[in-house]
Amino acid sequence: MSTSDRGAKPGLAVVAGGPSTGGNATRWSTRASFNLGDIEAISNRKAFPPFASLKAFEMIGRLGGIRKAAIALGVDHGAVSRHLHTLEEWAGTPLIDRSRGGISRLTPEGARYHIRISSAFGEIRSAGLDLIQNNDVQRLHLWCSPGFATQWLVLVLDRFRDSYPDIDLFTTGVREELQGLIVGTSA
């Protein structure tokens, strides 16, 4: 038993990794050990409910009804009902109480589950917004005649730049010397 194998959990050994050359052949030679329980948990589809069903259930819980969730998701209420049914089948328990004349109330199990997945969806939304905002460069492209640029636009641009410092300004149709004044650079 090598030194690297002493701390490994019993289970499955997988040969993978970088190439090593031996003779004329190249072979992959890094050894990694995994616990069989970890592999089973990862490959077990039961651990991961269908994402569309989760999304529908999160909206049902947040908005208080199947029809409201359908409107928010831009789908037919029948699709949301099917997603809910799929999730309930996956969970093996009802998630909403259907006995109240069309009003969708979460069961106690549904309410507990909704709290947990809502926070996860909140994290996903937040991460998405951060990603979009970090890659979202705001630009304003203007076309104007040189006369308009010298008579009016140059006079109001300082206020615009103070109000919207994150917007890059680009112009077309303006002579090069005016272009520098408009976009805030010297020509």
CATH, residue 94: 1.10.10.10
Domain limits for position 17: 3-45
The top-scoring range by mean pLDDT among 2-16, 86-100, 141-155 is 86-100
Looking at the fold, whether 24 and 88 belong to one and the same domain comes out as: no
Token output for 126: 């937040």
Residue with tokens 């003779």: 23
Q: What share of the chain in percent tops pLDDT 70?
A: 63
Query: Residue 65 in contact with residue 122, Cβ under 8 Å?
Result: no
* Bridge partners (DSSP) listed for residue 28: 19
The pLDDT of residue 72 is above 70: yes
Residues 127 and 109 in one domain: yes
User: 110 and 169 share a domain?
Assistant: no
Give tens-digit pLDDT for 123-174: 998 898 888 776 666 777 777 777 777 778 777 877 888 888 878 777 666 6
Residue 32 has pLDDT above 60, yes or no: no
> Do 90 and 154 have their domain in common?
no
For residues 59 and 129, state if they share a domain: yes
The upper half-sphere exposure of residue 42, i.e. CA atoms within 13 Å in the direction of its Cβ, equals 6
| 18, 30 Cβ separation under 8 angstroms | yes
- Band of the pLDDT at 66, cuts 50, 70, 90? very high
Q: In the chain, how many domains are there?
A: 3
Together in a domain, 18 and 31: yes
For 136, the enclosing helix (H) or strand (E) is none
Which CATH number characterizes residue 170's domain?
Answer: 3.40.190.10
The answer on 106 and 69 residing in a single domain is yes
Assess contact for 15 and 33: CB atoms under 8 A.
no
Average pLDDT, the chain: 74
Residues 68 and 129 in one domain: yes
